[in-house]
Amino acid sequence: MLEFDPYNGHANGSNWGRTGKSPESFGETARKFGILIVDDDGGVRNLLNKGLRGHGFDVWLAADGQDALDLFWRHHALIDLVLLDVGMPGLDGPQTASALLQLKPATRFCFMSGDLGGYEDQKLRDLGALAVIPKPFRLAEVAPLLWELASRADLCTVGV
């Protein structure tokens, strides 16, 4: 489970993703970037919702793969990046990513997980993931990466 430290504003656990850039510097743009968060853990969704909004994102939340597909269908023009948990009941993250790519082949997405289950990091990247982010992670370190992935039009996934 992702642990949030309210005193320093980040999730405890990892030094992954250091960029040396302030996440706030990524939020200064004429347009907010949209991110769809897909995770079956309500605490993780709420943490990411609050944290990523604070870093300048517009955020959509989905509790499972089907909910993600429904939201994406309605708001795909505003969603620049999808952040998917790997292990979820029903459609897991990779199955949801495949379905999203059928809806919009240029969908940019990345995975997050504390346990990849039967998937390997390279297999997830072969599906088109731009990143595989291990949980727990520090939101202050991951937000700049997500901003970069959302903002770079030159990044695309498999099938484009």
Nearest CA among 66, 71, 83, 68 for reference residue 142: 83
Mean pLDDT over the full length of the chain: 80
pLDDT at 92: 93
In the predicted structure, residue 76 carries a pLDDT above the cut 70 = yes
pLDDT at 135: 87
Percent of the chain exceeding pLDDT 70 equals 76
User: Using CA atoms, how far apart are residues 92 and 111, in angstroms rounded to an integer?
Assistant: 11
User: Using CA atoms, how far apart are residues 6 and 99, in angstroms rounded to an integer?
Assistant: 36
pLDDT digits (tens, 9 = 90+) for 131-144: 999 988 888 889 99
- The 3-state DSSP class for residue 139 equals helix
The predicted model gives 118-128 an average pLDDT of 90
pTM of the model: 0.78
